[in-house]
């Protein structure tokens, strides 16, 4: 069943001229957020709470400063105990600013401020309930209590009634599983206990088991143009479920799903293209998707009137509505209507829902009739093969004849549903109605679409994509594609069973189930159309004189709905060269990949490798289906499939690639990992500024020839090109200086910031009369060191450091070098050594005359400690790179770098030169290999530094009697403790390496966690308290975003991640507990059943991860289970 959130997302695409044209979501309209206040005191005259007003009446903007003011009247018995800012990202405690007497915070998203007051005098507790409906007990009993007293109220409903909730100081509060309510009394508290009459068991039984739920829902969006009404029918049959959603006016089916049962597991039942029934077993349980009332009870429904009942628990209402509708939505009301002792209707209304910040909000109202109580059955139309009739023989004969034709023409007509052609006709290709011919023969397919004439051709047993440049009468061959033959791009008229269709009129056939269109329509696709036709929502075949005449279907993708009519001409002959101008003998060859080749990454771990074989994104190949050549207004781009999604790939600048999926779940801009030294044109050199309060744009940009600072922070320069300007990395975002010019008001730079989500804002920077600082000449850039290693000077294009301390130049001349400030010396000089007027540019003279020689500085990617895996290699290697030295197994080696092969090492007694090469693997992880021509190949792994001894990192467990105690220590020395069934507590303590212990307060008691290096155990110790030995159960270091249960689509692979624990089931094997797992910014690494595996985020999808073995021979996508 479709378990997604539905919504209308409005994507506005602009054309941005940077000489190239890129489609991006506009962000000119800022997002607005709300700030709400909650408190454990309401309507108290001695308390006044104020929140600062937003700058804009529409709400607060991201990054806006705000504050909370709390006034307590003199003499009041109340004090402020805590103030907490709560967002989706988590909770933050706010502290009082003693200067302003305010609680300050920054708005980053919708925020709820929770204020807790405490009382300095005795606290009164007033509890009330309707005694005819139920009773209650208070423990400890009383009406006056000391502040911070813990009390428990236990309510018991009488027969025919149920405990609905407690109302604590006017706030509805859910009872615990045993019906009790636990409070810590901080202020005078009033508790009202709500007992309500519940549904009769006999009425409730009519809602259970086999049941037909039929009706419609009204989708009411903010903008009326998105409103619609859909019919919806869900049948809970005998161990089967069917669900059909269709248009209430046309009957067009949008969703059609059928499910079965295999033991306790739910299965998906589908017709195949061969008219057989396929049943796929899921890891999910059937009862979780079957009649939701089977999982509820009569007491879950409040009796409002004789004929009306309400499912009052919000979580249960959400789950029940999801099973009935197929959509997961928060529910505002869930009503059951009863007639003659049986449930006959449901009326369900959702909350107002906003699927994302860019989406319309909406409310859905469901009205269902309940029928066939205890007898409902799923239509066999969905569960049995369709019968073959004489009508199908006629259709099969027509398709067989079509398949035997070796050459034919197809007229392709497309009509965008709802499109109105502008006056004078549409001139832009790809917009509105289209009409063109496609030519097919044994050698080729050719798409004669105006402005984009292209196709595929077989030459010398290879299949080449080609473009036809009509103005030059030239065929341009692209890289050959990896397909078996040209038939891959031609229709397959016999690829399916004709019984899937039904005859609806003379010579007209449609599918029994419209949902099958996405499976069958691609059989008629020509060229690259398979990916689009897979979105077909219906399909009709039309015959003429016993032959296939037309294929008609509608598909929807990229938010556009189009009806396609393919008209086949099997009679008219054509010659590719004479009639179409396609001279393949004199075609030119080029690779469209040439401009893309390289490696690219962003700041959140996404990684792309492009080589002559194609694109690999986050370790998985992008299967390219189409290349679209550049036009005067749009750049060249590729279309392909990655991870089940259609993606487009284009160059955003000379050193950037943009990847976007059709549903925008993948929407990333990746920068080249090797930008090299970038030289910026002189017209951009200067200081440029914008200070726009209204648009919240405050930037000062200082540009030198090889360096850029934004708001005094140095930024990486990605690229410069005359036709695109300067591209600058700005944290996770990108700043573009597009062009520099001058008018009557002065110099200015046209600029743009593109945010990480590919939204952008354009603005103008104005030139300000400030110095750009001292430019460091290229000849000085490098590292210099004195013979005694007393001094080390590092010079880059943007800075000079001496022994790690910044040197600030105030002047420079070619003759005298630099003069500037070093420490307290304001006249400190740095220059090349000069003898008799001759400069030695490999010797630097500093200060009072110390001479430093230029030294080879190691590539920063290599710096660190790298080790081989002793379980793999016979001999263990530890390789240490510093800024200037190379050490292998404790021995130093000369630094010699080969640009192609890496660093060269000559091992004593080895006749071969050994090389050490850094590279990024297909996942974007830094990797290193040591190899030689002797055949030696050793993988080296970077050792991650830790703040505590490695042997204490992990999960430690023990027992204090019957109480389990668990501690977790991570590589940063962070300590967490869990006592019994409580939550993990973060402990504010540092590990004392001399004493081998943590010392801290636990629940107000001095506590020690002491490590025994001989026994390899910890002891948790308190005076007159704990004295518990803890043994290491696992070394599990996994970030919180991996926590949860993750399952593959076939249910054969499962990963369960909890704090300090990891269990995995691989490809149908047993669920095993992992003893050790490590992590870095790229993923999680562990060994199970002797095989090394990794977990990594599935980029663009926060509810999916990828598990793969070391060789990537096994890899599967896992989805987070609710």
Q: Is the pLDDT of residue 1101 over 70?
A: no
Query: How much is the pLDDT for 14?
Result: 23
β partners of residue 184? 150
User: For residue range 910-937, what is the model confidence (pLDDT) as tens digits?
Assistant: 888 899 988 887 777 778 899 888 778 8
At 533, which helix (H) or strand (E)?
A: helix 530-533
pLDDT band at 1004 (very low <50, low <70, confident <90, very high): confident
Q: Indicate the CATH number for domain 1038-1122.
A: 2.40.128.290
Can 864-942 and 1038-1122 be said to share one CATH topology?
yes
**Architecture in CATH for domain 682-768:** Beta Barrel (2.40)
Cβ 126 vs Cβ 191: under 8 Å: yes
**Over the stretch 733-786, which tens digit does the pLDDT of each residue have?**
899 999 999 888 889 999 999 888 778 899 999 999 888 899 999 999 988 888
Dist. CA 580–CA 846, nearest whole Å: 74
For residues 396-416, give the mean pLDDT. Answer: 93
- Does 455 score more than 70 pLDDT? yes
Asked if pLDDT for residue 632 goes beyond 70, the answer is no
In contact, 871 and 883? CB cutoff 8 Å: no
Query: Nearest 10 degrees: CA dihedral of 967, 969, 974, 976?
Result: -10
Please name the residues in contact with 575: beta carbons below 8 A apart, sequence gap of 6 or more. Answer: none
Q: What is the pLDDT of residue 1098?
A: 59
Q: Which helix (H) or strand (E) holds 401?
A: helix 390-403
Per-residue pLDDT tens over the stretch 932-951: 887 788 888 887 666 778 88
Q: What is the mean pLDDT of residues 1082-1091?
A: 85
647-671 pLDDT, tens per residue? 999 988 889 999 998 888 888 888 8
Rounded Cα gap, residues 1031 and 1028, in angstroms: 10
236-278 residue pLDDT tens: 999 999 999 988 888 888 888 899 999 999 999 999 999 999 9
Instruction: Please give the mean pLDDT across all residues of the chain.
Output: 86
Rounded CA-CA distance 754/761 in Å is 7
DSSP code string of 473-496: TEEEE-PPB--SSGGGGS--TTSS
Distance (Å, whole) CA 535 – CA 550: 19
CATH assignment of 864-942, given 2.170.220, 2.40.128, 1.10.20, 2.60.40?
2.40.128
Q: How far apart are CA 525 and CA 493, in angstroms?
A: 10
Q: Quick check: helix, strand or coil at residue 1042? A: helix
CA distances in angstroms from 898 to 445, 597, 862, 917, 937, listed in the order given: 48, 21, 14, 9, 18
How far apart CA 721 and CA 1109 sit, in angstroms, is: 41
User: At 8, is the pLDDT very low, low, confident or very high (cuts 50, 70, 90)?
Assistant: very low
Q: Tokens for 441, please give them.
A: 């023969």
pLDDT band at 7 (very low <50, low <70, confident <90, very high): very low
pLDDT range class, residue 858, cuts 50, 70, 90: low
| Across 27-36, 189-198, 675-684, least confident range | 27-36
Whole-angstrom Cα distance, residue 239 to residue 259? 8
- Determine the CATH number of domain 390-586: 2.50.20
The 3-state secondary structure of 944-985, one letter per residue: CCCCCCHHHCEEEEEEECCEEEEEEECCCCCEEEEECCCCCE
The domain ranges of the chain are 32-119, 123-197, 202-225+256-372, 390-586, 600-672, 682-768, 778-849, 864-942, 1038-1122
pLDDT band at 21 (very low <50, low <70, confident <90, very high): very low
Tens of pLDDT, residues 332-385: 999 999 999 999 999 999 999 887 666 778 999 999 999 999 999 999 888 999
Q: Is 439 helix (H, G, I), strand (E, B) or coil?
A: strand
Q: Are 341 and 203 in contact (CB under 8 A)?
A: yes
pLDDT bracket for residue 432 (50, 70, 90)? low
pLDDT of residue 944: 67
Query: Residue 583's Cα: distance from chain center in Å?
Result: 47
């Amino acid at each position: 069943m479709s378990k997604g959130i539905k919504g209308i997302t409005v994507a506005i695409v602009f054309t941005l001229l940077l000489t190239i044209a890129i489609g991006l979501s506009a962000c000119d309209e800022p997002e607005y957020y709300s700030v709400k206040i909650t408190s454990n005191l309401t309507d108290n005259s001695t308390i006044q709470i104020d929140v600062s007003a937003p700058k804009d009446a529409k709400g607060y903007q991201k990054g806006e400063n705000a504050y909370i003011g709390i006034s307590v009247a003199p003499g009041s018995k109340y004090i402020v105990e805590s103030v907490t800012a709560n967002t989706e990202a988590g909770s933050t405690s706010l502290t009082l600013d003693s200067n302003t007497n305010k609680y300050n915070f920054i708005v980053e998203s919708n925020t709820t401020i929770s204020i807790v007051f405490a009382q300095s005098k005795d606290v009164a507790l007033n509890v009330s309930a309707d005694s005819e409906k139920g009773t209650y007990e208070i423990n400890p009993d009383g009406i006056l209590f000391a502040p911070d007293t813990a009390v428990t109220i236990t309510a018991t409903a009488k027969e025919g009634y149920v405990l609905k909730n407690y109302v604590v100081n006017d706030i509805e509060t859910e009872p615990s599983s045993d019906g009790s309510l636990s409070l810590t009394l901080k202020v005078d508290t009033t508790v009202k206990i709500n007992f309500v009459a519940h549904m009769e068991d006999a009425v409730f039984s009519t809602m259970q088991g086999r049941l037909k739920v039929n009706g419609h829902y009204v989708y009411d969006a903010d903008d009326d143009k998105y409103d619609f009404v859909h019919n919806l029918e869900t049948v809970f049959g005998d161990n089967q479920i069917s669900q059909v959603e269709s248009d209430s006016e046309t009957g067009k089916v949008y969703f059609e799903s059928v499910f079965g049962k295999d033991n306790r597991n739910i299965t998906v039942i589908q017709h195949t293209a061969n008219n057989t029934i396929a049943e796929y077993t899921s890891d999910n349980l059937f009862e979780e998707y079957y009649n939701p009332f089977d999982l509820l009870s009569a007491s879950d429904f409040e009796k409002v009137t004789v004929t009306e009942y309400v499912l009052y628990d919000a979580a249960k209402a959400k789950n029940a509505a999801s099973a009935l509708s197929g959509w997961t939505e928060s529910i505002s009301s869930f009503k059951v209507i009863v007639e003659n002792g049986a449930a006959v209707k449901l009326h369900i209304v959702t909350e107002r829902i906003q699927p994302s910040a860019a989406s319309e909000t909406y409310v859905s109202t469901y009205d269902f009739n309940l029928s066939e109580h205890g007898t409902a059955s799923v239509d066999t139309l969905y569960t049995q093969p369709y019968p073959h009739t004489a009508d199908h023989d006629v259709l099969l004969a027509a398709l067989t004849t079509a398949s035997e034709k070796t050459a034919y023409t197809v007229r392709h007509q497309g009509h965008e549903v709802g499109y109105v052609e502008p006056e004078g006709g549409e001139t832009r290709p790809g917009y509105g109605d289209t009409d063109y011919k496609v030519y097919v023969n044994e050698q080729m397919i050719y798409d004669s679409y105006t402005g984009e004439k292209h196709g595929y051709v077989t030459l010398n047993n290879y299949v080449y994509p080609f473009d036809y440049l009509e103005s030059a009468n030239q065929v341009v061959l692209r890289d050959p594609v990896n397909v078996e033959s040209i038939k891959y791009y031609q229709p397959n008229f016999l690829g399916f069973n004709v019984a899937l269709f039904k005859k609806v009129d003379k010579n007209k056939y449609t599918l029994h189930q419209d949902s099958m269109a996405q499976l069958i329509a691609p059989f008629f696709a020509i060229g690259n159309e398979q990916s689009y036709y897979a979105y077909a929502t219906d399909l009709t075949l039309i015959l003429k004189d016993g032959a296939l005449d037309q294929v008609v279907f509608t598909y929807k993708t990229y938010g556009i709905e189009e009806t396609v009519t393919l008209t086949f001409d099997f009679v008219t002959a054509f010659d590719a060269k004479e009639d179409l101008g396609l001279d393949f003998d004199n075609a030119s060859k080029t690779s469209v990949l040439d401009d893309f080749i390289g490696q690219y990454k962003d700041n959140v771990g996404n990684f792309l490798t492009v080589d002559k074989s194609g694109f690999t994104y986050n370790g998985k190949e992008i299967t390219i289906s189409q290349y679209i050549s550049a036009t005067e207004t749009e750049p060249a781009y590729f279309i392909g499939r990655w991870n089940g999604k259609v993606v487009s790939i284009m160059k955003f600048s000379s050193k950037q690639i943009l990847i976007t999926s059709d549903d925008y779940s993948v929407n990333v801009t990746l920068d080249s990992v090797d930008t090299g030294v970038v030289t910026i044109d002189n017209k951009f050199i200067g200081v440029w500024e914008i200070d726009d309060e209204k648009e919240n744009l405050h930037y000062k940009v200082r540009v030198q020839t090889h360096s850029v600072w934004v708001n005094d922070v140095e930024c990486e320069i990605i690229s410069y090109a005359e036709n695109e300007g300067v591209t600058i990395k700005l944290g996770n975002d990108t700043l573009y200086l597009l062009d520099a010019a001058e008018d009557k008001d002065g110099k200015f730079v046209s600029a743009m910031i593109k945010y990480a989500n590919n939204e952008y804002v354009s603005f103008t920077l104005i030139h300000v009369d400030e110095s750009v600082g001292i430019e460091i000449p290229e000849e000085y850039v490098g590292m210099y060191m004195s013979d005694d290693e007393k001094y080390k000077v590092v010079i880059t294009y943007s800075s000079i450091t001496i022994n790690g301390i910044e040197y600030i130049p105030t002047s420079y001349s070619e003759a005298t070098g630099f003069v500037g400030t070093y420490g307290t010396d304001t006249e400190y000089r740095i220059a090349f050594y000069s003898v008799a007027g001759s400069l030695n540019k490999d010797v630097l003279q500093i200060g009072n005359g110390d001479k430093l020689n230029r030294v080879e500085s190691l590539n920063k990617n290599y710096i660190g400690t790298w080790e081989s895996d002793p379980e793999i290699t016979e001999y263990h290697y530890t390789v240490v790179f510093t800024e200037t030295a190379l050490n292998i197994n404790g021995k130093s080696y000369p630094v010699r770098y080969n640009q192609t092969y890496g660093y060269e090492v000559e091992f004593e007694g080895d006749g071969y030169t050994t090389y050490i090469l850094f590279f990024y693997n297909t996942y974007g992880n830094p990797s290193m290999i040591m190899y030689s021509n002797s055949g030696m190949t050793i993988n080296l792994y970077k050792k991650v530094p830790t703040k505590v001894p490695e042997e204490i990192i992990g999960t430690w467990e023990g027992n204090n009697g019957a109480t389990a105690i668990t501690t977790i220590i991570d590589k940063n020395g962070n300590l967490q403790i869990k006592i019994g069934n409580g939550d993990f507590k973060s402990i504010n303590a540092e590990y004392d390496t001399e004493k081998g212990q943590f010392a801290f307060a636990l629940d107000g008691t001095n506590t020690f966690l002491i490590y025994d290096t001989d026994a390899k155990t910890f002891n948790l110790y308190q005076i007159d308290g704990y004295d518990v030995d803890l043994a290491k159960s696992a070394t599990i270091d996994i970030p919180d975003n991996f926590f949860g249960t993750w399952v593959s689509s076939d249910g054969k692979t499962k990963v369960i991640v909890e704090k300090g624990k990891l269990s995995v089931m691989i490809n149908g094997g047993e669920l095993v507990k992992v003893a050790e797992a490590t992590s870095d910014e790229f993923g999680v690494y562990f060994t199970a059943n002797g095989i090394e595996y990794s977990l990594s985020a599935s980029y663009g999808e926060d509810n999916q991860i990828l598990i793969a073995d070391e060789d990537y021979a096994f890899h599967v996508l896992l989805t987070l289970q609710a």
